[in-house]
Amino acid sequence: MTASRIVRLSAALAMVSMAASCSGGTSSDEPTAVRVGFFANVTHAPALIGVAEGYFVEELGDGARLETATFNAGPEAIEALFAGAIDITYIGPNPAVNGWAQSNGEALRIIAGTTSGGAALVVQPSILTPQDLGGKTLATPQLGNTQDVALRAWLAEQGFSFDETGGGDVSVVPQANAQTLETFRSGQIDGAWVPEPWATRLVQEGGGHVLVDERDLWPNGQFVTTHVIVRAEFLEQHPDLVEAFLRAHVRAVDFANDHPAEAQADVADQILAITGQELAADVIAAAWGNMTFTVDPIADSLVQSARDAEAVGLLEPVDLTGIYALELLNGVLAAMGREPVFG
């Protein structure tokens, strides 16, 4: 396993000036920094595997150095990308769409898929039907993140009202995932729409049950939970490094699928290193079965997620033409004798 440096970025650090954060090194003799972001979530397993197995370092080679940053939710990662503090990040679909919209399509591109599935609405035992949610309080990781949009869109379909301040028929309260586990266990919240491993932890450690498995809401159970985006300027300046990153990413996805036991151990080790908290092996194993790891970005689901965000008032109508840049990934796949993916 590598000793890749873990850098924890807060929203404040994410707002560091572009000039200060974009310098890859102090001289041309130094390797170029490739700054990769991800979350300490099982849905970001390929990122954690890529670090643990050394794939990123191997594929980037001597001409680049890997730096990593961790985030709680997508909007934080987008802030860091806008500030030039990261170059590539694993992220959910809705923050990527928001970043695309906020920058008029200039700041980022989606370069690969990562994970399908692995998100659910977990509720207290007394809640048995959607109708039981009236007057209840539900949590999401952050306002406007992928699970937040999914919950609000689903609540709207059930006929519930809500707003961005926690008002309405159902109160939606964004909070960090670790806090959600504690507030759920204490009864301060009645449920949460969260990614893995938090959905499984709310069941196993919080005594909740799954009211909605998000896979049941999508055709064939397939929808993008996590994909990879790149800062557009970095892609233009360093396509060779982006291609090297993608080779590592494909290897990590393959490892997750072909060697699940070893991959789960890698994920556990990385989460412990990042958070200082050990995640039980049975939690990771249970969460693993709720996800599919794939480099296919499942583009149709991204479009629908954007429409859902528009419908609940978190996004103005946006043209997503050009958001995908899959040429480098398809080149990597072609070299491996694999079929291309499409945006």
List the pLDDT tens digit at each of the 343 positions of the chain. Answer: 333 333 333 333 333 333 333 434 444 578 999 999 999 989 999 999 999 999 999 999 999 999 999 998 898 999 999 999 999 999 999 999 999 999 999 999 999 999 999 999 999 999 999 999 999 999 999 999 999 999 999 999 999 999 999 999 999 999 999 999 999 999 999 999 999 999 999 999 999 999 999 999 999 999 999 999 999 999 999 999 999 999 999 999 999 999 999 999 999 999 999 999 999 999 999 999 999 999 999 999 999 999 999 999 999 999 999 999 999 999 999 999 999 999 9
Q: Are residues 154 and 196 in the same domain?
A: yes
Instruction: Give the domain-ending residue among 172, 200, 221.
Output: 221
Yes or no: say if 132 and 126 are a contact pair by the CB < 8 Å rule: yes
Strand partners, 293: 115
Residues 328, 235 within the same domain: yes
Q: Decide if 191 contacts 124 (C-beta within 8 A).
A: yes
The domain boundary, picked from 189, 221, 253, lies at 221
Domain identity same for 176 and 304: no
* Residue indicated by tokens 């009864």: 187
Residue 169 near residue 160, CB atoms below 8 Å: yes
Say which CATH number the domain at 186 has: 3.40.190.10
Residues 66 and 142 placed together within one structural domain of the fold: no
In a domain, 135, yes or no: yes
| Structure-derived torsion over alpha carbons of residues 55, 60, 66, 69, reported in degrees to the nearest 10 | -70
Residue 106 phi/psi, 5-degree rounding, is -100, -25
> Which of 191, 221, 251 corresponds to the end of one domain?
221
50, part of any domain: yes
Cα separation, 205 vs 261, whole angstroms: 22
The residues facing 183 across adjacent strands are none
The span from the CA of 309 to the CA of 96, in Å, is 12
Q: Are residues 169 and 184 in the same domain?
A: yes
Helix residue ranges per DSSP H, 61-106: 74-82, 93-102
| Same domain (yes/no): 106, 254 | yes
60 and 141: one domain?
A: no
Structure tokens at 124: 């207290």
Q: Do 83 and 137 reside in the same domain of the chain?
A: no
Q: Find residue 89's DSSP bridge partners.
A: 37, 229
Same domain for 217 and 230? no
User: Which residue type, as a one-letter code, is found at position 194?
Assistant: V
What's the number of domains the chain is made of? 2
The answer to whether residues 163 and 252 belong to one domain is no
One domain for residues 33 and 91? yes
Q: Is the peptide bond before 75 cis (omega within 30 degrees of 0)?
A: no
Tokens of 90: 């694993």
Show the domain range for 168. Answer: 119-221
What is the predicted pLDDT for the residue at 16? 34
In the chain, helix, strand, coil percent, each to 5?
45, 20, 35
On whether residue 273 sits in a domain, the answer given is yes
Examine the domain organization and report whether 27 and 125 are in the same domain: no
